[in-house]
Every structure is written in C-alpha cells, then in structure tokens.
Structure 1
Amino acid sequence: MAQHVRDIMTSAPVTVGPQTSVTQVARLMRDEDIGAVLVAEGDDLRGLVSDRDLVVRALAEGDDPDETTVAGVCSGDLYTVTPDEDLDQAVRLMREHAVRRVPVVDHGRPVGIVSLGDLAMERDPDSALGGISAARPNR
C-alpha cells in the first residue's frame, strides 16, 4: 500500500492562467478527460477550478463563458500537501475541509493533484468509489 502522496498523485497537473476563459477551461477538461485544473501564475499556485465550479459559479449565474475568467470562479482557499507527506495527511485535509481534490506542491510550485478517487483506488479498490474511479470514461 502506498504511504506517501507522491505514490498515488496525478503528476504533471494541467494548469491555466487566471485570465483563461471558462470556455477554454471547459474544452481543456473535455479534451484531457479531467474534472479539475490548477490556476497558476508562473510557478505560483492561485487556485483550483473544477467542472462543478464552472457550472455553479459561472454558467448558473448567467455569466458569458467566453468573457468570464477562471480567476472569478476558482476556489482560492487551497489546502495543499507535499509529495512526501503521508497519505493520512491528505485524507485529514479532505475530511476537515470537505474537499475532493488537494493540490500537491513542491516548494510552492504545483506538481500534482491527489483526489478522493485516487485515495479510494489505493485504499479501498473494491468500494463503489474505487470501482467508479478506476473505470474508463463514459463519453
């Protein structure tokens, strides 16, 4: 069983700049088959935007997705872990703050994401969430 975040994290996360439009991010999520991207300026992590953020914070509000940037819809209050931290720390952060994804940073620079699905596949692969997370996309 993996003991550290680096053992199960998704490496080389997709990142976008804060001025990237909601439309561009939605297309990137579709093309890369991902549900979240990190928002960064250079090497500085600024936020995380999920597919749900795009829907709830932009589309449902009636905002023009071509004109709305991810800076206005991303989650800015981030809880992060390092690659060398114990997986239990990632689990604690997710529980304590009710988040499904935690950015992984190394010296402040984003290097990965660890998700609830990653943890389920590692810790309980026979669970419903573990099975769903391991399944191929349903396009």
Structure 2
Amino acid sequence: MYDNTCCSDFQSAVDEYLIRHRSVLDILTKYQEASARVNRAIAKAVTECGCIQVAAARQAVPENTSYSELKDHMSSHLVGEPCPQCQEVIAKELGHSMFYLAALCNLTGLSLHKVMQQEHSNVKMLGVFHLS
C-alpha cells in the first residue's frame, strides 16, 4: 500500500522546516495558494507552452451504457502530454501543495499516512460511489 516511512519522514521534515507560517490561518491560505498554483501551471502548459490542449465538450455517453461502463466513455478533455519542462513545474507545484497538506496534518495531529490509508479504504469500499 503506502510507505509509512516516506509519509512520516516527509511530515517530520515539514514540521521541522515550517518556521514562519505556523498559524493555521497561514497554512490554510498557503495551501489554497499552492492549489491555485497547480491550476496555473496546468493552464500555462496549455496557453503558453501549448504542449497540452483542452478539448472540452459535453461528455458523449452512448445510450444503454451501464454505470460500470461509463468510465470507458468519459473524457479528461486533455489532448497530449505535458512536456518535460511543464511536468517539472506541475510536479514542483504539486509538491508545494503536499507540503502544506502535511503541515495541516501536523497542526491537527493527523498522520498523513493514516489519512491516505483511510481514503484508500474508502475508495476501495465505496468504489464509484466514493465522491457521490
């Protein structure tokens, strides 16, 4: 499943190196900002680099499609793959987002590893109804 050592080491490093923004309000707003930067990095891959395109349209689902077959007909609306430079930027921004997620776990006394395990269990147990 998930490596507890990796998660706990990361969470410990975040706790050790998060100096200035220890207030829950600082961390919440930094987490939101980091999430916005992920969105921006993907948008820039489309609008500035052009390595990926968004071809969004209404999802076309054939009649008589069962719920279990629905995934086969749903589109991500992405065309192409991010180039190495855009992948690097997106990964960096996702890392910052994970940093502040770990910081929130630290402040609330939660284990990032346990949160991931619980969410994994929920996804496996609830399957397609997980986010309904």
Mark the structure with the bigger radius of gyration: 2
TM normalised by structure 1 equals: 0.25
* Richer in helix (by share): 2
* Richer in strand (by share): 1
Greater RCO, 1 or 2 (C-alpha within 8 Å, sep 6+): 2
